[in-house]
Amino acid sequence: MIICKNVQALVAYTPGEQPKDPGIIKLNTNENPYPPSPKVAEALQAFDAARLRLYPDPVFLALRQRIAEIHGCAVQQIFIGNGSDEILALCTRAFVENDGSVGYFEPSYSLYPVLADIRGVERRPVALGADFTWRMAADYEASLFLMTNPNAPTSMQHDKAAVAAFCRAFRGAVLIDEAYGDFADAGCMDLALAEGNANTLVMRTLSKSFSLAGLRFGYVIGPADLIGALYKIKDSYNMDMLAQVVGLAALSDLPYMRENVRKIRATRERLGAELRRRGWRVCESQTNFLFASPPDGRAEKVFDALKAAKIYVRYFPGPATGEYLRITVGTEAQADALLRHLV
Ligand SMILES: Cc1ncc(COP(=O)(O)O)c(C=O)c1O
């Protein structure tokens, strides 16, 4: 057989549906309902297509300088990927030996076990505690721990002291995936920059808070030696020229991103409060989505009814998540439409 055994056996990651019908209210993939900064459109319009003749900067220095300014770190501590998914895959290659393992919480981002399977290494999942709270055995070990924080799909933020203590004690690499970090009250970037934390990386994406899921742009910050390892194994030109131009424009307009985050957080609070008033269990969200369970716990039934009404949300079957829906926070009008259909 030509195809590798682990690829034959692989159950691939299933991304959320991308329906073509523009009439659908799309609350299923945690995209931002607002357009990206006007500076993005300006940069695209000003872009000279003749430049595409040339290869892009392989080490994206201008972007790293901007990110270094934002986070107060050195350019040697920054790596940029074609979406944060690319960075996750690179980490499983750079920090996990063939007989190593990949750890992650359950439930969390469902790509993590697939990445372990692609590498053909052991999965070491850790079940979260009751109500999806932090739970970690003192003797837990893995080569690489992938930690979504705030977590997805639960929307909850892990206790910072627990995360910090874990990073200090853990012998492998820790990647804190802050895909939703801009929607939280505070984050863990300082852990990637702390002198003593030689094993900790923190990752961000432009897909959610910057409204650029279509661009494919994620970045990771951490100790220079770990970051250097990612440069060694990346594709020569993993960030195309347009992504570099557009990414820089977006990162140069933080006030615009923050205003959208403010609106989404306000809608999140209103939607969460109204669902609770109607008897739903709603996790305390620090993200741009809610993880919520209807009063009778029959989430799949609500998922089907919403889908029939052209409102798409996400449902993850299984014992831990099967009573919940993951609902992306959209505009105020989308929240109203959702609430009307949930009557
Ligand atoms: C926790 C988490 N990490 C990473 C990603 C992927 O982000 P990107 O679009 O940057 O590849 C997602 C996307 O949904 C996510 O939920």
| pLDDT digits 0-9 by tens, 117-131 | 999 999 999 999 989
Catalogue the long-range contacts made by 51-57 (C-beta closer than 8 Å, 24 or more residues apart).
Answer: 51/241, 52/241, 52/242, 54/241, 55/237, 56/237, 56/239, 56/240, 56/241, 56/244, 57/244
Across the range 140-166, mean pLDDT stands at: 97
pLDDT in tens, 281-329: 999 999 999 999 999 999 999 999 999 999 999 999 999 999 999 999 9
Question: pLDDT at position 207, please?
Answer: 98
Confidence of residue 63 (pLDDT cuts 50, 70, 90): very high
pLDDT in tens, 31-56: 999 999 999 999 999 999 999 999 99
Pocket test for ligand 1, best of 82, 108, 109, 202 (most atoms within 8 A of CB): 109
Instruction: Reply yes or no on whether the pLDDT at 343 is more than 80.
Output: no
153 lines ligand 1 (CB under 6 A): no
| 177 C-alpha to ligand 1 centroid (Å) | 8
182 lines ligand 1 (CB under 6 A): no
Question: pLDDT at position 1, please?
Answer: 84
Confidence of residue 195 (pLDDT cuts 50, 70, 90): confident
| 85 C-alpha to ligand 1 centroid (Å) | 6
> For residue 295, what are the CA distances in angstroms to 152, 154, 275, 276, 280?
21, 17, 10, 9, 5
| 37 C-alpha to ligand 1 centroid (Å) | 20
| Percentage of the chain lying above the pLDDT 70 cut | 100
Preceding amide of 153 cis, omega within 30: yes
Question: pLDDT at position 166, please?
Answer: 97
86 CA closest ligand 1 atom index? 11
70 lines ligand 1 (CB under 6 A): no
Question: pLDDT at position 106, please?
Answer: 97
83 lines ligand 1 (CB under 6 A): yes
Range 61-81 burial, b when 16+ CB lie within 10 A, else e: eebbebbbeebebebebbbbb
| 29 C-alpha to ligand 1 centroid (Å) | 10
What is the pTM assigned to this prediction? 0.97
> For residue 130, what are the CA distances in angstroms to 127, 152, 190?
9, 16, 28
85 lines ligand 1 (CB under 6 A): yes
pLDDT in tens, 67-119: 999 999 999 999 999 999 999 999 999 999 999 999 999 999 999 999 999 99
Pocket test for ligand 1, best of 111, 151, 178 (most atoms within 8 A of CB): 111
